[in-house]
Chains A and B, each alone.
Chain A
Amino acid sequence: MISASSTRDIDNEIGVLGETANTITNWGGSTIAADGIRCEGQINLKIINNVINGGNGTASAVVGISLHRSELQLLLRIMRSVTT
């Protein structure tokens, strides 16, 4: 979920409380850094109730929830999200 630093996306949501969690599994596995959820340039972004399980063998950074340019993300909410 990536937007521009000058004009950011608004009110996007990944996951919701009260329902079965989103599940992201078996990603990565190479020499390249891998993210389960990657977000840039968001306003009022909600990341709620997600289960993120990376796969084996990634020979670089593995990040469950990656928030780039986080200084641009106003009103960010991350709740009940589990990464392994």
Chain B
Amino acid sequence: MSGTKTIPGDFATIKEAIDNLNAQGVGAGGVTFNVAAGHTETASNVVISILTDPPTAANPVVFQKSGAGVNPLITAAPGISPSFDGIIKFSGADFITFDAIDLLDPNTNTGDGVVEWGYALMRASTTDGSQNNVIKNCVITLQKISSLTYGIYIANRDINGATVVPADLNGQNSYNKIIWKHYIQCL
């Protein structure tokens, strides 16, 4: 997949775009998803894991708000775990930018339905960490009722919360940037 895609348009949702990205990989020049201002969708545990033709510095992936208006918003569907639900989970994913894509875990999610992580940058294996990603201009709103909530979680774990100690430089979660008007707040 390459070029510029629209959401909604080429894909109905960000989740649908990520599912296709995981299946197809990234082509020459990378791919930019323009997400319409005001777009909303509901999803949780959306995993980015691009094993075939993964993004590179020359072939990056960008999800960004397009047009004037409020940021696109992903509202969390109820989670399934008491400790490791995330709205967007990177599993050893590299060179991906989220720009002005907001996340919300509403207080209607209770018990195991509470989503603990907003953006989670995790290791896929001991030799595959999440690297060179950028998260910016985002508002992340989670619930305070869990002591395990993290707006952006870059951790020594896989997407299911299991500890993964890197075996080499590729296994590290390195060169990531959390920048510019990034708000994390809690309900």
Seen from chain A, the residues whose Cβ lies within 8 Å of a Cβ on chain B are 1-4, 6-16, 19-30, 32, 34, 40-41, 55
Contact A10 B174 (CB under 8 A): yes
Seen from chain B, the residues whose Cβ lies within 8 Å of a Cβ on chain A are 129, 144, 147, 151, 154-156, 165-169, 171-186
User: What residues on A are CB-neighbors of B186 within 8 Å?
Assistant: 25-27, 29, 55
Contact B180 A11 (CB under 8 A): no
Known A2-B154, A8-B172, A12-B154; judge A23-B182 contact (CB<8 A).
Answer: yes
Can you offer 6 A-B residue contacts whose CB atoms are under 8 A?
Answer: A2-B156, A8-B172, A10-B169, A12-B175, A26-B144, A27-B144
Q: Who on chain A is nearest to B176 by CB?
A: A12
Q: Roughly how many angstroms separate A10 CA and B174 CA in the complex, as a whole number?
A: 5
Contact A13 B178 (CB under 8 A): yes
Q: Roughly how many angstroms separate A1 CA and B168 CA in the complex, as a whole number?
A: 18
Contact B154 A16 (CB under 8 A): no
Would you give the shortest CB distance from B182 to chain A, in whole angstroms? 4
Q: Who on chain B is nearest to A2 by CB?
A: B155
Contact A22 B156 (CB under 8 A): no
Would you give the shortest CB distance from B154 to chain A, in whole angstroms? 5
Contact A9 B172 (CB under 8 A): yes
Contact A3 B182 (CB under 8 A): no
Would you give the shortest CB distance from A82 to chain B, in whole angstroms? 15
Contact A23 B172 (CB under 8 A): no
Would you give the shortest CB distance from A37 to chain B, in whole angstroms? 9
User: What residues on A are CB-neighbors of B182 within 8 Å?
Assistant: 15, 22-23
Would you give the shortest CB distance from A8 to chain B, in whole angstroms? 7
Known A1-B154, A9-B154; judge A30-B180 contact (CB<8 A).
Answer: no
Known A2-B155, A4-B166; judge A15-B172 contact (CB<8 A).
Answer: no
Would you give the shortest CB distance from B179 to chain A, in whole angstroms? 4
User: What residues on B are CB-neighbors of A22 within 8 Å?
Assistant: 178-184
Q: Roughly how many angstroms separate A15 CA and B175 CA in the complex, as a whole number?
A: 13
Contact B168 A20 (CB under 8 A): no
